[in-house]
Structure 1
């Protein structure tokens, strides 16, 4: 490996030591200082050594966002921005999470009027929950 590629490799390895990164994230961060050919060579080596894994990154990222109370739409969008197009979110119960997030913010009591319900729906939408998940969060509390 060339000397320049070693510095790219070491820079990427330092980033991965702090936290998991997707291939695209590493490419974008390293592109500020290094050439594309050197970046690709270094990242391919890291991938072959199993230091960088998009699957491992996606698993950690989804778990972190789920624990933060983010919905499936928001998580899928964030993953796509980080270069992960296909990830199965079916293992996570976003219906229960939507109810939990709504109850923690507004309490167990169902909204008394349309204005209050709309406010809660907008809040859940901003968190990235889908229409069905939002509606179920109200039905489960009734």
Structure 2
């Protein structure tokens, strides 16, 4: 296969992935690697997609944060997931994490005001596992 035809096949494959949903550069690179494209070809295709504004890590992070927020995930978990997808610059300040922690807690456990220590600890661990920080968790119990 010529370099030119491999380049266009790689570009088409990446574009097809981006039509389904936003991907980070790292995700695209990993998926294209699985399809046995050359590193140079992959880098060229991704660069072209970025240049044409079809791929944007910023747009990916915005969509990803919104999706995870709507799933009731906290900022700690979301930022770890974004970093594992190769995105290091993102903005989590657009959302009210305190309100989300309170909503997630009441959806899962109800709005009981009087909790024993064991039940309160269980609920706090749950919120922690969802990726909420100390401040958001404590605020959810007030």
Question: Given the two structures, how large is their TM-score scaled by the length of structure 2?
Answer: 0.95
SS in 1 for 2:122: helix
Could you say what secondary structure the match of 1:30 adopts?
A: helix
Q: Which residue of 1 aligns with 2:95?
A: 92
Matching of residues 49-128 of structure 1 within 5 Å: 49-128=52-131
Provide the residue aligned with 1:18 in structure 2.
20
Residue 111 of structure 1: how far off its partner (Å): 4.5
Give the unaligned 5+ runs of structure 2.
none
Separation in 2, partners of 1:86, 1:111: 41
Residues 23, 52 of structure 1: 8 Å contact kept: yes
- The answer as to 2:47 corresponding to 1:44 is yes
Structure 1: stretches of 5+ with no match in the other structure:
none
CA RMSD in angstroms comes to 1.0
Offset, 1:110: 2.4
Check the 8 A contact 1:111/1:117 in 2, yes or no: no
TM-score, normalization by structure 1: 0.95
Structure 1 ranges of 4+ moved more than 4 A = none
Structure 1, residues 14-67: CA drift from partner, whole Å, max 9, x if none? Answer: 100111000000001101221100000011011111111111111000000000
Classify the secondary structure of the residue corresponding to 1:2. Answer: helix
Change (3 A) 1:4 1:68: same
1:137 aligns with 2:135: no
- The secondary structure found in structure 1 opposite 2:141 is helix
Cα separation, partners in 2 of 1:111 and 1:24, compared to 1, 3 Å: farther
